[in-house]
Amino acid sequence: MSEKHESSALTFSPPHAIEARSKIYEEMKRYSATPEEFERSLGLFLRGSLLARIFAIDEIYRQIVDLPGSIFDIGTWRGQTGVVCENLRAIHEPLNFHRRIVCFDTFEGYKGFSDKDNSTLTHDNGSYSVGGENYSEVLTRLLMLHEQSNAMGHNFGKHKVIAGDCRNTIPDYFRDLPHEFVALAFFDVNAYDPTRRSFEAVWERLIPGGVAAFWQLSRDNMLGEGRVYIEECLGKMPHTVFRTKCYPGLCYIKKSNQSR
């Protein structure tokens, strides 16, 4: 199984852009500055496509600022979306200490790929592993440090990182917290069955006006999210669907105020 990240195999960038990306990374590794200066200069090395992802997450986050409920990042991988959401919380609603972020992942790679999916060298059972359940401790620590570094940082420890198969951990989470409801959920588990089952569990707890966001909804080589949308939502659930302006691959569904 290939250990390559998909950005080296599935990309719209021409070779010269990929080469430039590698050179930016090399410049970052040998950049000469004090730790304080380096930390404040990370924008020098933030390439446009990653910045577009952050803008897209911000576009979605703005949809829920006036709504109560938690944020789920399902298939968090290394946790970047969860961390970005904590920092957006601090920007858009710094006094909302009730906004909890919950990151779900096996941290051992994808699970649940079947004949309903289009498996590849970069997308199959076991790919995107980050080294097992111990990574959940790393991500928990990072989330807490970001909370502490943000405004009102004395109020920290709100967020959770949950390791395991989301087909089991999300129902377990709701069983343990029967009062919990969701304002925003990101889905990035890619395989059809985990996407379907986690979406069904979350949709029942998604408040009216809440948002379900999919990173691969219209991607032609990743079938799971599109199939789930067609089977579970299209013509069945009252909703509206959008794509983000800066990052067309990230699409989101807003739950209608009407009941199912």
- Does residue 135 sit within a domain? yes
Highest mean pLDDT pick, 14-23, 106-115, 199-208: 199-208
Residue 243 lies in a domain: yes
Residue with the larger pLDDT of the pair 64 and 112: 64
Q: Are 62 and 42 in contact (CB under 8 A)?
A: no
Task: State the residue range of the domain holding 33.
Answer: 1-46
pLDDT of residue 154: 93
Tokens of 22: 């590698």
Q: What is the pLDDT of residues 174-184, one digit of tens each?
A: 999 999 999 99
Residues 27 and 55 in one domain: no
The pair of structure tokens assigned to 47 is: 């390439």
Does 101 lie in the same domain as 18?
Answer: no
Q: Beta 251-255 vs 206-214: how paired, if at all?
A: antiparallel
Q: What is the model's pLDDT at position 2?
A: 40
Based on the domain organization, do 141 and 25 belong to the same domain? no
pTM for this prediction: 0.92
The pLDDT of residue 94: 96
CA atoms of 201 and 229, how far apart (whole Å):
14
What's the confidence (pLDDT) of residue 4?
52
Looking at the fold, whether 134 and 24 belong to one and the same domain comes out as: no
Query: pLDDT tens across 191-213, in order?
Result: 999 999 999 999 999 999 999 99
Average pLDDT over residues 110-133: 80
Residue 250 has pLDDT above 50, yes or no: yes
pLDDT greater than 70 at residue 7: no
Higher pLDDT, 139 or 128: 139
What percent of the chain is modeled with pLDDT above 90?
76
Q: What CATH number has the domain bearing residue 215?
A: 3.40.50.150
The verdict on residue 163 lying in a domain is yes
Q: What is the pLDDT of residue 258?
A: 63
Residue 260: the pLDDT is 44
Written as six digits, the tokens of 149 are: 């570094």
**Residue 142 sits in the same domain as residue 225:** yes
**Residue 148 pLDDT greater than 80, yes or no:** yes
3-state secondary structure of 180: coil
Claim to verify: residue 20 and residue 134 sit in the same structural domain: no
Q: 66 and 18 in one domain? A: no
260: in domain: no
| Shared-domain flag, residues 57 and 26 | no
Q: Is the pLDDT of residue 259 over 80?
A: no
Domain membership of residue 112 (yes or no) is yes
Q: Is residue 184 part of a domain?
A: yes
pLDDT of residue 1: 37
Say whether both 34 and 82 belong to one domain.
Answer: no
Give the Cα separation of 41 and 61 in Å (integer). 25
The verdict on residue 228 lying in a domain is: yes
Same domain, 53 and 89: yes
Partners of residue 255 on adjacent β-strands: 239
Q: Is the pLDDT of residue 8 over 60?
A: no
For residue 66, what are its two tokens?
Answer: 């006036």
Instruction: Check whether residue 37 and residue 56 sit in a common domain.
Output: no
Is 77 within a domain?
yes
Rounded Cα–Cα distance for residues 132 and 213 (Å) = 25
Q: Residue 140: its pLDDT value, please?
A: 97
What is the pLDDT of the chain when averaged over all its residues?
Answer: 91
Count of domains in the chain?
2
Write out the E strands in the chain: 70-74, 101-105, 160-163, 182-187, 206-214, 239-243, 251-255
pLDDT tens per residue, range 82-108: 999 999 999 999 999 999 999 999 999
What's the CA gap between 165 and 182, in Å, rounded? 19
Residue 217 pLDDT greater than 80, yes or no: yes
Q: Within this chain, do residues 160 and 173 fall inside the same structural domain, yes or no?
A: yes
Domain boundary at 24, 46, 68, which?
Answer: 46
